[in-house]
A and B are shown apart, each in its own frame.
Chain A
């Protein structure tokens, strides 16, 4: 309709400038306009007859409009448009030939993509020379798509497009048409990559093939486990299942050939990704390759994405926890008893047994803590966690309290504050130098906040989600186990919670429930407040075979030490299926200050024997950290050894290992990622298309701003709308005159 009245389409007008082609001098135009308006006014005034002023003004206006329309026609309006110069530009036709393009319902995604590209180029891009490319992990120019098959093992869309545009710029690249399912196994397109692609100024039009939802497919999209664990510890794996239907999925976990655990996961209808936790008991030291498998259904198009593997190294590691206690008490005794059999955590305690004597236990040497509580960073930073019991803040100097603050914020150690007649608020910790670290604002020491009354403990929803508070295998059993625990012997008010604090346990008192175990992160570390000194009743008031008390303290201690970073460490972070990992090596001295003047390199070895060496570069964020991206080209276990050298001599070595599924990447995330394609088009000035709706693509190609363009003028003085307006104006005037019969 628009095109009928205005001669050209609305997009034509949008991409063009309206100009007047008649080259009349401006003074002449002004003179004619003045004479015309004046003459019109005089003639009308002389023949006004009995007309009112309003009637005269209406007729005068209509006649003026008619004059303006005539003037517009005489000025010869036209559309000035930039368009690609025929024969001098190219268009890049890019098809994704990665493995995921082999999927399809009926025709393969790859075939749909080829058909779409053919349709786009044949219907409207006349004058453009087509250059053909395939992309998977790299871009490759091809003469024809005929012999191409979707067999790429990975997809890196951004890097591939940058290569294509960069190489084709010399051939006046006007546009890129990418036909893909949008699945990028390199981890998606980052903001910086997107900016790099957009910087070329070449519009990228995308055609999304495949389906955004595949109800018949279940996919294990994410698997996160710790890379290291202590022997006998419980490892919690977090999994995410992608699904487009509700139901139940059963997850099985194998350690080699041994079935380690099964977990039923309810898939909700109102979400497409369901997360779950699976707890695993790993007893033996050594590498454990854990395979997680979601039971598939018969109609699944791809069963390989139901399985993921990871590597967990179980090894002995000695952690140290310092427990500073101001008075002999049962909590001290039973905590020590719970921790005694734990060979991985050494509980070193400093107990004030009389006003003039401290009793030390769990020592590694006779000299340890001989001078009392540590006063230096080196001494305190040797521990991974610190427990402060029923003791006054004033028993530590300002310097010692400052070191505790550094221990948490810089060392990344964990601090646990216990309740007691001289603990928490009663001990003046709320006004101490470490008050800022604590997850609550403790009551003042002038108020006795410690209550020697038994009270039941209640697991909060956050606590139920925390593995450190897991006393039983399943969520429901765990809830029951906590509900059946004997009451604690006492409790203490914690004061108001700070914004970042989280309550893991509550205690039910006569006046209602109040926080019992709270925590908050602080700097690199974590701070906990356990507002009771009476968990020992869980041991004394439970049957001998009940291990709840021991389990609680061992798991709690493990959580305390596990979150404390080690001075020398190496991590290899990757998303499943990714073809490279980011190595992060950290080298700190005993005081946890960066080791200066070191050069860091890494030897990366595949279990099959292949290996290579690469340098790690200093991180801009942290002087103790060196980073590098390490490609993992083969599926299997990779061992990484980072070596810190000073003056050519190796002074520190850190090791880690990672299991790579790089060759499996294309079997995951098989749902079309149209959002990624839209983002790509939006950022580059292109447009996203569905294969069935490519009608607007030819015009977009023709008027691209990239490439070599030319200006064209298209007259619009003969647009029907102008003559229609003339008729309407004149006919309107006639009708008025006829009705008034006065002029």
Chain B
């Protein structure tokens, strides 16, 4: 028995738009994959899964709060990315015996892989927002032995905003000034003379502070054994100093100090 097949005619308008439609759908799908679930934006979480070093610079991809800038700008957590970590990691490999992976990574708080990286960096935390689930995850991460370095937030308003989410993580742990004799300031470099590390805007304005954050504060949260879990760099921008380390106009001494802060936090995290 023979079965005859007949090709159904495609409507004319569909034939005309089919190729552009496929292109649009592919682009939309790509954008959707990058932005919808994990909040990583254009960064693919699976981009760098290889484990080529002991230390991996992990940037926390948090959700921004409702006061964060919108409309075309990058998300707050992306500030200084990726130059800051690329420069800093080169410094770590050059100045220490830490075997650091060449490239940084980005993880959201609820990513299960976060426990494979006991050091994490969060920038512009005056704009961060941690919901209850994320705060619980961060608390668990830190109490198991993880270390969080926060940076680049300034003034009363951003402090209040940062603290609102931080209080969800540790409602009962105070934020205190890190004492001068804390090992975090001596583990590799003796950081007895600390100065405010400004953003690159300092080059144009000559002003080292932003908003009303005139005085730099090195604060922290400690665990029950007196170990620093969260290093809070308030009213300063260490990330900018890393990022612009190759800028001829950015002050070399400030970049050098920023490297030293970062390295001391890292060595401290790997020893305490």
Contacts and interface: CB of A to CB of B under 8 A. Distances in A.
Contact of B188 (A357, A452, A537): A357
A540 B52 contact: no
Given A357-B188, A544-B143, A330 B54 contact: yes
A361 B271 contact: yes
B95 interface: yes
A539 B146 CA distance: 10
Count chain A CB atoms within 10 A of each CB in B53, B145, B146 and give the residue with the most: B145
A413 interface: no
A541 B145 contact: no
B251 interface: no
B187 interface: yes
Interface string A539-572: 1111010000000000000000000000000000
B97 A355 contact: yes
Nearest to B119: A330
B270 interface: yes
Interface string A442-467: 00000000001100000000000000
Contacts of B271: 328, 332-333, 336, 351, 353, 359, 361
Interface in B31-88: 51-55
A328 B97 contact: yes
Nearest to B223: A337
Interface string B97-132: 111000000000000000110100000000000000
Nearest to A486: B115
B145 A540 contact: yes
A536 B144 CA distance: 10
B30 interface: no
A240 B96 CA distance: 56
Contacts of A326: 97
A133 interface: no
A333 B270 contact: yes
A542 B116 CA distance: 11
B246 interface: no
Nearest to A537: B116
A353 B144 contact: no
B140 interface: yes
B217 to A, nearest CB: 26
A453 B51 contact: yes
A124 B272 CA distance: 88
Interface string B181-225: 000000110000000000000000000000000000000000001
A327 B99 contact: yes
B116 A332 contact: no
Contact of B115 (A333, A336, A541): A541
Contact of A333 (B51, B118, B188, B225): B118
B96 to A, nearest CB: 5
B97 A539 contact: no
A428 interface: no
B267 interface: yes
Given A333-B269, A333-B271, A354-B95, A359 B115 contact: no
Contacts of B145: 333-334, 337, 536, 539-540
Interface string B233-272: 0000000000000000000000000000000001101111
A354 B100 CA distance: 13
Most buried by B among A333, A355, A541, A542: A333
Nearest to A533: B54
A489 B97 contact: no
B187 A353 contact: yes
Contacts of A539: 144-145
A477 B95 CA distance: 46
A329 interface: yes
B118 A330 contact: yes
A252 interface: no
A357 B264 CA distance: 13
A336 B94 CA distance: 26
B259 to A, nearest CB: 12
Contacts of A361: 271
Given A351-B271, A353-B188, A452 B52 contact: yes
A2 to B, nearest CB: 88
A80 interface: no
A353 B97 contact: yes
Interface in A335-359: 336-337, 340-341, 351-355, 357, 359
A337 B227 CA distance: 10
B177 to A, nearest CB: 24
Contacts of B270: 328-330, 332-333
Contacts of A374: none
A439 interface: no
A328 B51 contact: no
B181 to A, nearest CB: 14
A354 B143 contact: no
B36 to A, nearest CB: 27
B54 A329 contact: yes
A76 B232 CA distance: 121
A421 interface: yes
Given A333-B272, A353-B267, A359-B271, A544 B188 contact: no
A536 B119 CA distance: 13
B272 A353 contact: no
A337 B144 CA distance: 10
A328 B269 CA distance: 9
A354 B96 contact: yes
A354 B95 CA distance: 6
Interface centre among A328, A336, A536 (most CB of B within 10 A): A328
Given A336-B271, A354-B96, A327 B146 contact: no
Nearest to B226: A340
Contacts of B146: 540
A422 to B, nearest CB: 9
Contact of A541 (B54, B98, B116): B116
A601 to B, nearest CB: 47
B225 A340 contact: yes
Contacts of B187: 353, 359
Contacts of A537: 115-116
Contacts of A334: 145
B144 A540 contact: yes
Interface string A351-375: 1111101010100000000000000
A339 to B, nearest CB: 12
A328 B98 contact: yes
Nearest to A327: B97
A355 B94 CA distance: 10
Interface in B133-181: 140, 143-146
Nearest to A331: B54
Contacts of B51: 452-453, 489-490
Contact of A353 (B96, B99, B118): B96
B191 to A, nearest CB: 14
Interface centre among B53, B99, B225, B266 (most CB of A within 10 A): B99
Contacts of A453: 51
A235 B72 CA distance: 65
Contacts of B118: 330, 333, 536, 540
A119 B266 CA distance: 91
A178 B127 CA distance: 97
B119 to A, nearest CB: 9
Interface string A364-405: 000000000000000000000000000000000000000000
A357 B271 CA distance: 14
Interface of A: 326-330, 332-334, 336-337, 340-341, 351-355, 357, 359, 361, 421, 452-453, 489-490, 536-537, 539-542, 544
In order of increasing CB-CB distance, the 9 nearest A-B pairs are A328-B270, A327-B97, A452-B51, A540-B115, A329-B54, A354-B96, A541-B115, A328-B98, A333-B270
Given A327-B97, A333-B272, 16 more contacts: A329-B54, A329-B99, A329-B270, A330-B118, A332-B271, A333-B271, A353-B96, A353-B188, A359-B187, A452-B51, A452-B52, A536-B145, A537-B116, A539-B144, A540-B115, A540-B116
6 contacts: A333-B272, A337-B272, A361-B271, A540-B144, A540-B146, A544-B140
